[in-house]
Amino acid sequence: MVKELRSSRRALRRGTAVALALSIALVCVSPVTAQSLSDRFKSLFGGKSDEQAQPNPAPAPAPGQPADDELDCPQVTVRAGASTYAVGANGKQAVGNDIRFQATITKMARECARNGGDITARIGIQGRVIAGPAGAPATVDVPLRIAVVQGGVGEKVIASKAYRTTVAMSEGGSVPFTFVAEDMSYPVPSAKDADSYIFYVGFDPQALSPEPKARKKR
């Protein structure tokens, strides 16, 4: 009887120790796994801290322009028909077994700040490059374009820039990429036009073409 009592006590101690170890592990893991959406966006834009000093107050806006606290940062969306970028082997069309790789856009983010009479926007793009049946090269150049557009009956392009980012492929054949455009700038729209502005992002193969050389002066 005494042996059975001692055995049950030892089992109880072991069970208590295991439960305590599991509870400690859960306490240590939960802050890491419970990453908020805002933290992921902060990471996308370089991990800015909420405790950073606030910038100096901006100058007063011009008549008819919104103040900083009324400044709307346009929504960002993928331009229709520009959400994927596929390349075929040896100049062939990127279909079926001739696809070398295909890139897609999976997430976007943006933030805006007024600098005098201009707005400077930071546009973040996350995507993925997947190797195709024809085999992807070791590195892939991904061409991107970001545009500020005033929507409406007659759509108007306010600003547009082409970019490229290089992605190193892995043996797994599926690699994520992140790109942040730091230099998108455009004039502050009037208060009545601000709501019609939008950021368009997408793939643009022309971004890989070399820029034309300037003509030499005689």
Per-residue HEC secondary structure of the chain comes to CHHHHHHHHHHHHHHHHHHHHHHHHHHHHHHHHCCCHHHHHHHHCCCCCCCCCCCCCCCCCCCCCCCHHHCCCCEEEECCCCCEEEEEHHHCCCCHHHEEEEEEEEEEEEEEEEECCEEEEEEEEEEEEEECCCCCCCEEEEEEEEEEEECCCCCEEEEEEEEEEEEECCCCCEEEEEEEEEEEEEECCCCCCHHHEEEEEEECHHHHCCCCCCCCCC
With respect to residue 212, please indicate whether it lies within any of the assigned structural domains. no
In the chain, pLDDT over 70 holds for what percent of residues? Answer: 63
Residue 58 in any domain: the answer is no
Most trustworthy range by pLDDT among 56-60, 93-97, 102-106: 102-106
Give the residue, 6 or 113, on which the prediction is more confident.
Answer: 113
User: Do residue 29 and residue 77 come from a single domain?
Assistant: no
114-132 pLDDT per residue, tens: 989 999 999 999 999 999 9
Q: Residue 24's domain spans which residues?
A: 2-34
- Given a cut of 70, is residue 8 above it in pLDDT? no
| Residues 156 and 168 grouped into a single domain | yes
156 and 150 Cβ atoms separated by less than 8 Å: yes
29 and 42 assigned to the same domain = no
Residue 215 forms part of a structural domain = no
Instruction: Please check whether residue 216 lies inside any domain of the structure.
Output: no
Does residue 28 share a domain with residue 68?
no
Whether residues 29 and 116 share a domain: the answer is no
Tell me, yes or no, whether 20 and 76 share the same domain: no
Per the structure, the count of domains in the chain is: 2
The reply to whether 28 and 73 lie within a common domain is no
pLDDT at 44: 52
* Pairing relationship of beta strands 75-78 and 197-203 according to DSSP bridges: parallel
Residue 168 lies in a domain: yes
The answer to whether residue 51 scores a pLDDT higher than 80 is: no
- 168 with 79, same domain? yes
Task: Give yes or no for a contact between 207 and 163, defined as CB atoms under 8 angstroms apart.
Answer: yes
- 93 plus 190 within the same structural domain: yes
pLDDT of 103 higher than 60: yes
> Cα separation of 137 and 84, whole Å?
18
Whether 147 maps to a domain, the answer reads yes
Q: What is the pLDDT of residues 150-187, one digit of tens each?
A: 988 888 999 999 999 999 998 888 999 999 999 899 99
**Could you tell me if residue 29 is inside a domain?**
yes
pLDDT on residue 91: 78
Confidence of residue 189 (pLDDT cuts 50, 70, 90): very high
- Binned at pLDDT 50, 70 and 90, residue 45 comes out as low
* 140 within some domain: yes
Say if residue 14's pLDDT is above 50.
Answer: no
